[in-house]
Amino acid sequence: MARRGGWRRRIVLLLALAMVAGAVYTAVEFLRRSETLITERCTAEGSGGDDLATDQAANAALIGATAVQRGLPARAASIALATSMQESKLRNIGHGDQAGPDSRGLFQQRPSQGWGTEEEVMDPYHATNAFYDALVKVPGYEVIPITEAAQKVQRSAYPGAYAQHEGMARAFASALTGHTSQGLDCSLRSPDEAGDAGLLQQHLAASFGAIPATAAGRTVTVQAQDTRGWAVAQWAVANAKALSITEVRVDGRSWDRASHNGWQAADAPAGQVAITVAGEPPP
């Protein structure tokens, strides 16, 4: 009888282990499948549902950061975003159209019209600064309608087309220049590869210019406060896909890539932004 009882205990134990293993497998499969169901998009408060794909959001973040770097008002970023959305869908495209066969880049700038060489207009940093160089020469660009300011820079064959993007442009510009805190959120799957803190610092400097930042392990800490701090923080969220960023902390709030809950209360001191990149993903 004792031997039979021992076998029963072993069978029960094996069945329990099998159930645990099955539950773990089911949980892993659920998480894996739920990850694949995530539509990777970025949203801005007040955009009226006009979301951006992650590559569009990264380009929008560059446009917003360049305005901050140059000390331009958020209005300048709104005009630039509406223009780029109309001209290229906020993508750095390498072709033109019938109206401008040599048009290229984020703003479809034409080398034949003095915007730079083809290589230069395909460089998002050059293209964005070239747009702002022209915009600041437009009298009253800060107060005239966005579509009118855009047209004075672009001289498009369709001058009214920029107006359709004003809602999206205002919302993303306000978040990406830091005027709307907690205004930008991106829904993303888990990173495919580890992040690089050094590369993150390079992109920060290219976007915002000389900015005090230090790296410790996988976290880059930027000294920035008020609207500039939120501009840096939301730039990081918009670039989280490309740079494998997993967490951003600023001014008592944090954005956690894995939580999918937007900005939440957190232990984050004012005056600095902590940006953490992913470690090596599990095999």
Distance (Å, whole) CA 67 – CA 78 = 10
Residue 156: what pLDDT?
A: 79
Distance (Å, whole) CA 49 – CA 147 = 21
Residue 182 has pLDDT above 80, yes or no: yes
Residue 1 has pLDDT above 80, yes or no: no
Residue 282: what pLDDT?
A: 79
Q: Which residues contact 94 (CB under 8 A, 6 or more apart)?
A: 104, 105, 122
Domain boundaries, the chain: 44-176, 189-277
pLDDT tens readout for residues 128-139: 999 999 999 999
Residue 12: what pLDDT?
A: 62
Question: What sign does the dihedral 89-90-95-101 (CA atoms) show?
Answer: positive
Backbone angle region of 168, left / alpha / beta, with phi > 0 → left and psi within -120 to 50 → alpha: alpha
Residue 212: what pLDDT?
A: 94
Residue type, 167: G
Please compute the mean of the pLDDT values over residues 61-74 and round it to a whole number: 98
pLDDT tens readout for residues 28-64: 444 444 566 689 999 999 998 899 999 999 999 999 9
Structural tokens at position 43: 């949203």
Residue 99: what pLDDT?
A: 65
Report the chain's mean pLDDT, rounded to a whole number: 90
pLDDT tens readout for residues 267-282: 988 899 999 999 998 7
From residue 196, alpha-carbon distances to 190, 209, 243, 262 in Å are 16, 19, 7, 23
pLDDT band at 16 (very low <50, low <70, confident <90, very high): low
Please compute the mean of the pLDDT values over residues 192-212 and round it to a whole number: 96
Residue 269: what pLDDT?
A: 87
- HSE-CB of 46 using CA atoms within 13 angstroms: 15
Return the higher-pLDDT residue of 11 and 183: 183
Residue type, 256: D
Specify the DSSP element, H or E, that contains 170: helix 166-176
pLDDT tens readout for residues 238-261: 999 999 999 999 999 999 999 999
Return the higher-pLDDT residue of 2 and 85: 85
DSSP state of 104: B
pLDDT tens readout for residues 216-234: 999 999 999 899 999 999 9
Whether the Cβ atoms of residue 243 and residue 199 lie closer than 8 Å to each other: yes
Distance (Å, whole) CA 125 – CA 168 = 21
Burial category of 147 from C-beta neighbours within 10 Å (exposed 0-12, middle 13-18, buried 19 and up): buried
Share of the chain above pLDDT 70, in %: 87
- Euclidean distance between the first and final Cα of the chain, in Å? 47
